[in-house]
């Protein structure tokens, strides 16, 4: 089941539970004025103060505590179990507001939806809602599970909200519906707790978790807001983007240990355009109140307007501004999980955006002096920031609500007046089933998508057949639509370059154009099209079809990603499949032929995947091969785990590829050919794969350093988790390929294959300075050899995601015939979206190659072919490597 299908199931659960929570009687409502009598404090329940040295809340106990608070809260608190996490733990939403508000929660939700999309709502109705409605605030805790502050702060914040009886608390309860996610990563919260407790009192106390802190994706869970592949993301995405649209959102994180104690809103430069400007002003407003309250509480080391830029990735706190939500984050200086960290004053340092030197300045007027830094220090600062957000909203309820209406209506007006006015997505796409997935991803963001039952023509003469989609920008989330569907170029100005012109690394990618990632054509239309459109109200689940008569067998279109799902399901049932290698009789290389199968199996596969089994028109005896399932091994390491490996694993599960996770010991033993045909190294550094140097946790990328919560300190990693395949492992991999195995290396791991196997390949961008060559997360134009089995089903011109990737020259040798260039970069005008500096260095260069080695081959995919399970448009490069290829003439027989 893929993420999009699974989202369907999630969709029906949350709302029903929310509604069930609103049936409180009026008797409870009258009790509002009275204080709840007995509320158990966190200290009493857990046996320690939140944030006490070397003490962590375990998620299962936290779940018990929130359920207890629900019973003791006098109607102020409702717990909603949103469903299981990927590992089966409960994912909770805690709703806190007055009993009177709880009693009319659904009506408040409906009012809120009208403010967030006021199209067709009268101004009188808006004014009534501003008077009667409540501010909705959402806060999420410890999405990055090693950043433990949030999970340990929330019980205390929640306790205060349900037990305090002062006017300030009452105002919050009366004026705010507070949606709290007390852990945005319950699986990780449990892993971090258990690992920490296991090594408490040893030399490894407070060390980094050796594996990813959730089932698949570790630190990348924030990046999952773009497509919401994971259940946790789906729960929060539905809550914020579909069911509620809160006016403000705060996500609580940790950062490195040696700068400010806590970063609070607003962000620093550069801003990302196309949001309503008021959303950035709101963040300044909340941020000022937060910082003001931190000083009032005597808490030092608070910084705002620094470190975190307004243009980040489309993670939860950075995508929300384009939902017209004041999307904010706090970042606290890390300790060693719950173990205090001593910091000498001389070790405190600036060097961050907006805090060049560690000294008193306008956005940092009260530097922390150094000394022992503790989890309690984090909990206190986070709690003040969380409370202040609720407090400001409660004090300014009508202003906040009126501005929610203004943001939504002004964005809608901007969209109506601007160019493009809309995007059209033709039903005629290279891979139409992936178009459905894109539409479903837009729906999950709460974007309105229209479908044309009869087709339409655009003013420029382009025609769109029946079933095509139309997305107008005259809707509140116009900025988001623009970024997900339209060409995007990263800002190039004084905020993104140093004075000497050197580009400053963006926080993440240079763009987030989902349509380009997915290989879907979305055409910008300069004028709105008045057509007979129908609103798409539920995720699209294509039915698939099976030809009634197919005496010669069936064909599946090899251009569909889902053809691989279908073939894997057929293989599961023992059905034989052939693959077309040469074009003939309407067949393309990469199409699949199913000579015979039980009708019920075909019907079932068609239903599950949406593919069509059409009738084969003529018998095909030449230019096909028997396609078989290959045995797949994927390298699994410790040292924090590898997010790219986790995404790959998740993708394989969704598409039905069986695989084995292979650890160092098995590789070192050798003899890999006995168990595997294909061996995969996900994006990684060579030294991390070999173990030559200790790697930072959290996979490659900024996870390790920036999070600060798992600095690379080899001494704190127990010996059994100091992974790396070593020289024996390199020899075993070499042996595997020489004996006929296929080695697939992704992204940075291509360097491992090139250097350790001595391949005749050169990375042409290695050694270039960032001033010469700098390409963060950009979609680049490529030329594809579609007759190569590794590129079957691809278009000849395509887009790939390049993120500080390598690019290659295949060096001339006496055995050039053994090597194949599968994908190369365009000769000019390479940038489709993002930020390409120095395109001449990669123009025409190799992006993907297959290099013969012994009896086997090494597949080098330099770009991000399956990045974060978002780049559907290039999945087939990887998938093709996982199924058998046609027999290849060896050079000796030629
Ligand atoms: Zn974080």
- How does residue 358 score in pLDDT terms, banded at 50, 70 and 90? very high
| Distance from residue 330's CA to the centre of ligand 1 (Å) | 9
CB 305 within 8 A of CB 268: yes
| Distance from residue 706's CA to the centre of ligand 1 (Å) | 8
| Distance from residue 314's CA to the centre of ligand 1 (Å) | 14
| Distance from residue 219's CA to the centre of ligand 1 (Å) | 7
CB 139 within 8 A of CB 178: yes
| Distance from residue 264's CA to the centre of ligand 1 (Å) | 13
Instruction: Return the SS3 of 287.
Output: helix
| Distance from residue 708's CA to the centre of ligand 1 (Å) | 9
| Distance from residue 144's CA to the centre of ligand 1 (Å) | 5
| Distance from residue 640's CA to the centre of ligand 1 (Å) | 15
| Distance from residue 802's CA to the centre of ligand 1 (Å) | 24
DSSP labels, 742-788: EEEEETTHHHHHHHHHT-SEEETTTT--TTT-B--SEEEEEEE-TTS
User: 676 to each of 152, 632, 880, how far by Cα in Å?
Assistant: 44, 6, 16
| Distance from residue 818's CA to the centre of ligand 1 (Å) | 45
Q: pLDDT for 575-633, tens place per residue?
A: 999 999 999 889 999 999 999 999 999 999 999 999 999 999 999 989 999 999 999 99
CB 773 within 8 A of CB 765: yes
CB 51 within 8 A of CB 379: yes
| Distance from residue 548's CA to the centre of ligand 1 (Å) | 54
| Distance from residue 374's CA to the centre of ligand 1 (Å) | 18
| Distance from residue 152's CA to the centre of ligand 1 (Å) | 15
| Distance from residue 254's CA to the centre of ligand 1 (Å) | 5
User: 105 to each of 34, 159, 252, 818, how far by Cα in Å?
Assistant: 20, 21, 26, 67
For the chain, give the mean pLDDT: 93
Q: What average pLDDT does this structure show over 636-644?
A: 97
Q: pLDDT for 33-64, tens place per residue?
A: 455 469 999 999 999 999 999 999 999 999 99
| Distance from residue 490's CA to the centre of ligand 1 (Å) | 23
| Distance from residue 253's CA to the centre of ligand 1 (Å) | 4
Q: pLDDT for 206-228, tens place per residue?
A: 999 999 999 999 999 999 999 99
Strands 577-580 and 624-627: antiparallel
- How does residue 700 score in pLDDT terms, banded at 50, 70 and 90? very low
pLDDT recorded at residue 112:
98
pLDDT recorded at residue 585:
80
Of the candidates 479, 468, 472, 481, the one whose C-alpha atom is nearest the C-alpha of residue 425 is 468
Residue 716, classified by CB atoms within 10 Å of its CB into exposed (0-12), middle (13-18) or buried (19+), is middle
| Distance from residue 143's CA to the centre of ligand 1 (Å) | 7
Q: Is residue 672 predicted with pLDDT exceeding 60?
A: yes
Residue 244, classified by CB atoms within 10 Å of its CB into exposed (0-12), middle (13-18) or buried (19+), is buried
| Distance from residue 252's CA to the centre of ligand 1 (Å) | 8
Count the neighbouring beta carbons within 10 Å of the beta carbon of residue 755: 14
Q: pLDDT for 361-410, tens place per residue?
A: 999 999 999 999 999 999 999 999 999 999 999 999 999 999 999 999 99
Strands (E), 18-141: 77-84, 90-96, 135-141
Q: Is residue 180 predicted with pLDDT exceeding 80?
A: yes
pLDDT recorded at residue 531:
80
| Distance from residue 222's CA to the centre of ligand 1 (Å) | 8
pLDDT recorded at residue 490:
97
| Distance from residue 685's CA to the centre of ligand 1 (Å) | 22
| Distance from residue 752's CA to the centre of ligand 1 (Å) | 29
pLDDT recorded at residue 352:
87
CB 99 within 8 A of CB 31: yes
CA atoms within 13 A on the CB side of 858: 28
| Distance from residue 10's CA to the centre of ligand 1 (Å) | 25
pLDDT recorded at residue 694:
52
| Distance from residue 329's CA to the centre of ligand 1 (Å) | 9
Residues 6 or more apart whose CB falls under 8 angstroms from that of 224 comprise 217, 230, 233, 315, 868
How far is 442 from 472, CA to CA, in rounded Å? Answer: 12
Main-chain phi, psi angles of 484, to 5 degrees: -85, -25
| Distance from residue 251's CA to the centre of ligand 1 (Å) | 9
- How does residue 460 score in pLDDT terms, banded at 50, 70 and 90? confident
| Distance from residue 866's CA to the centre of ligand 1 (Å) | 23
| Distance from residue 239's CA to the centre of ligand 1 (Å) | 20
| Distance from residue 236's CA to the centre of ligand 1 (Å) | 16
What are 723's two structure tokens? 């992974």
**Taken in order 715, 256, 233, 65, is the CA torsion positive or negative?**
positive
State percent of the chain over pLDDT 90: 91
| Distance from residue 142's CA to the centre of ligand 1 (Å) | 7
| Distance from residue 405's CA to the centre of ligand 1 (Å) | 31
Q: pLDDT for 104-136, tens place per residue?
A: 999 999 999 999 999 999 999 999 999 999 999
Q: Is residue 494 predicted with pLDDT exceeding 80?
A: yes
| Distance from residue 512's CA to the centre of ligand 1 (Å) | 20
Q: Is residue 306 predicted with pLDDT exceeding 80?
A: yes
- Name the residues around ion ligand 1, CB cutoff 5 A: 144, 147, 253
The dihedral formed by the CA atoms of 432, 435, 440 and 442, expressed in degrees to the nearest 10 = -170
User: Bridge-partner residues for 269, per DSSP?
Assistant: none
Q: Is residue 858 predicted with pLDDT exceeding 50?
A: yes
- How does residue 716 score in pLDDT terms, banded at 50, 70 and 90? confident
| Distance from residue 220's CA to the centre of ligand 1 (Å) | 9
How far is 578 from 14, CA to CA, in rounded Å? Answer: 44
| Distance from residue 684's CA to the centre of ligand 1 (Å) | 21
| Distance from residue 331's CA to the centre of ligand 1 (Å) | 7
What are 542's two structure tokens? 């294509």
Main-chain phi, psi angles of 405, to 5 degrees: -65, -45
Instruction: Return the SS3 of 62.
Output: helix
| Distance from residue 17's CA to the centre of ligand 1 (Å) | 29
What are 474's two structure tokens? 């005259």
| Distance from residue 133's CA to the centre of ligand 1 (Å) | 33
| Distance from residue 147's CA to the centre of ligand 1 (Å) | 6
pLDDT recorded at residue 1:
42
| Distance from residue 317's CA to the centre of ligand 1 (Å) | 11
| Distance from residue 89's CA to the centre of ligand 1 (Å) | 21
State percent of the chain over pLDDT 70: 93
Residue 98, classified by CB atoms within 10 Å of its CB into exposed (0-12), middle (13-18) or buried (19+), is buried
Q: pLDDT for 424-452, tens place per residue?
A: 999 999 999 999 999 999 999 999 999 99
Count the neighbouring beta carbons within 10 Å of the beta carbon of residue 345: 11
Q: Is residue 31 predicted with pLDDT exceeding 70?
A: no
pLDDT recorded at residue 37:
66
Q: pLDDT for 500-514, tens place per residue?
A: 999 999 999 999 999
| Distance from residue 387's CA to the centre of ligand 1 (Å) | 20
| Distance from residue 269's CA to the centre of ligand 1 (Å) | 19
Residue 131, classified by CB atoms within 10 Å of its CB into exposed (0-12), middle (13-18) or buried (19+), is exposed
pLDDT recorded at residue 702:
33
| Distance from residue 606's CA to the centre of ligand 1 (Å) | 41
């Amino acid at each position: 089941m893929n993420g999009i299908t699974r989202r369907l199931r999630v969709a029906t659960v949350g709302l029903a539970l929310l509604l069930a929570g609103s049936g409180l009687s009026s008797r409870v409502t009258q009790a509002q004025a009275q204080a709840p009598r007995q509320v158990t404090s966190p200290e009493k329940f857990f046996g320690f103060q939140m944030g006490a040295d070397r003490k962590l809340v375990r998620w299962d106990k936290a779940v018990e505590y929130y359920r207890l608070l629900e019973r003791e809260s006098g109607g102020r608190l409702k717990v909603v179990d949103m469903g299981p996490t990927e590992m089966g733990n409960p994912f909770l939403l805690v709703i806190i507001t007055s009993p009177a508000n709880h009693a009319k929660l659904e009506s408040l939700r409906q009012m809120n939806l009208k403010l967030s999309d006021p199209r067709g709502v009268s101004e009188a109705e808006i004014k009534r809602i501003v008077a009667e409605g409540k501010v909705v605030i959402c806060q999420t805790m410890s999405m990055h599970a090693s950043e433990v502050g949030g999970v340990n702060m929330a019980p205390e914040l929640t306790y205060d909200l349900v037990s305090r009886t002062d006017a300030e608390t009452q105002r919050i309860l009366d004026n705010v519906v507070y949606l709290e996610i007390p852990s945005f990563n319950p699986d990780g919260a449990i892993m971090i707790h258990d690992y920490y407790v296991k090594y408490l009192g040893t030399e490894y106390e407070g060390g980094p978790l050796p594996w990813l802190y959730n089932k698949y994706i570790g630190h990348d869970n924030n990046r999952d807001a773009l497509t919401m592949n994971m259940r946790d993301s789906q729960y929060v995405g539905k809550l914020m983007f579909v069911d509620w649209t809160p006016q403000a959102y705060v996500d609580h994180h940790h950062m490195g240990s040696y700068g400010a104690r806590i970063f609070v809103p607003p962000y620093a430069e550069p801003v990302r355009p196309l949001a309503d400007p008021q959303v950035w002003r709101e963040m300044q407003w909340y941020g000022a109140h937060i910082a003001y309250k931190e000083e009032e509480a005597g808490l030092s080391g608070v910084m705002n307007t620094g470190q975190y830029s307004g243009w980040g990735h489309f993670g939860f706190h950075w995508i929300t501004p384009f939902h017209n939500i004041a999307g904010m984050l706090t970042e606290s200086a890390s300790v060693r999980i719950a173990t205090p960290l001593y910091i000498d004053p001389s070790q405190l340092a600036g060097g961050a955006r907006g805090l060049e030197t560690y000294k008193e300045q306008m956005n940092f007027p009260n530097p922390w002096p150094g000394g022992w830094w503790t989890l309690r220090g984090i909990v206190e600062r986070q709690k003040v920031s969380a409370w202040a957000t609720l407090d400001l909203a409660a004090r300014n309820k009508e202003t906040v609500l009126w501005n929610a209406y203004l943001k939504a209506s002004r964005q809608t007006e901007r969209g109506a007046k601007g160019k493009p006015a809309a995007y059209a997505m033709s039903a005629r796409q290279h891979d139409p089933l992936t178009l459905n997935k894109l539409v479903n991803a837009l729906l999950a963001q709460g974007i309105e998508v229209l479908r044309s039952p009869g087709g339409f023509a655009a003013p420029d003469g382009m025609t769109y057949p029946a079933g095509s989609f139309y997305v107008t920008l005259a809707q509140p989330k116009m900025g988001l639509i623009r970024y997900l569907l339209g060409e995007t170029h990263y800002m190039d100005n004084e905020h993104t370059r140093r004075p000497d012109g050197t580009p400053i690394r963006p926080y993440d990618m240079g763009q987030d154009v989902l349509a380009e990632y997915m290989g879907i054509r979305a055409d910008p239309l300069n004028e709105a099209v008045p057509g007979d459109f129908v609103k798409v109200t539920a995720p699209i689940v294509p039915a698939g079809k099976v030809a009634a008569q197919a005496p010669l067998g069936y064909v599946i279109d090899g251009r569909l990603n889902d053809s691989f799902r279908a073939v894997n399901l057929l293989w599961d049932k023992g059905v034989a499949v052939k693959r077309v290698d040469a074009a003939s009789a309407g067949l393309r290389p990469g199409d699949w032929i199913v000579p015979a199968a039980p009708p019920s199996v075909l019907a079932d596969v068609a239903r599950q995947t949406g593919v069509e089994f059409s009738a084969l028109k003529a018998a095909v005896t030449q230019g096909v091969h028997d396609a078989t399932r290959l045995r797949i091994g994927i390298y699994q390491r410790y040292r924090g785990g590898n997010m790219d490996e986790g995404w790959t694993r998740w993708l394989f599960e969704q598409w039905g590829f069986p695989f084995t996770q292979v650890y160092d010991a098995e590789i070192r033993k050798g003899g890999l050919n006995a168990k595997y045909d294909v061996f995969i190294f996900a994006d990684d550094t060579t030294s991390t794969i070999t173990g030559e140097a200790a790697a930072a946790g959290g996979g490659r990328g900024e996870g390790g350093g920036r999070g600060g919560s798992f600095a690379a300190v080899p001494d704190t990693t127990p010996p059994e988790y100091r992974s790396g395949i070593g020289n024996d492992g390199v020899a075993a991999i070499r042996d595997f390929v020489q004996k006929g195995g296929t080695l697939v290396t992704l992204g940075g791991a291509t360097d491992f294959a090139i250097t350790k196997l001595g391949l005749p390949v050169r990375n042409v961008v290695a050694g270039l300075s960032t001033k010469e060559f700098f390409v963060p997360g950009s979609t680049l134009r490529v030329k594809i050899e579609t007759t190569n089995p590794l590129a079957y089903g691809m278009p000849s011109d395509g887009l790939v995601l390049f993120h500080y990737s390598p690019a290659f020259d295949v060096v001339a040798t006496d055995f050039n015939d053994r090597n194949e260039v599968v994908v190369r970069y365009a000769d000019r005008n390479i940038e489709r979206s993002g930020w390409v500096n120095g395109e001449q260095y990669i123009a025409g260069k190799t992006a993907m190659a297959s290099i013969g080695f012994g009896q086997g081959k090494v597949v080098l995919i330099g770009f991000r072919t399956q990045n974060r399970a978002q780049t559907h448009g290039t999945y087939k490069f990887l998938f093709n490597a996982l199924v058998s290829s046609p027999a290849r003439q060896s050079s000796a027989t030629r």
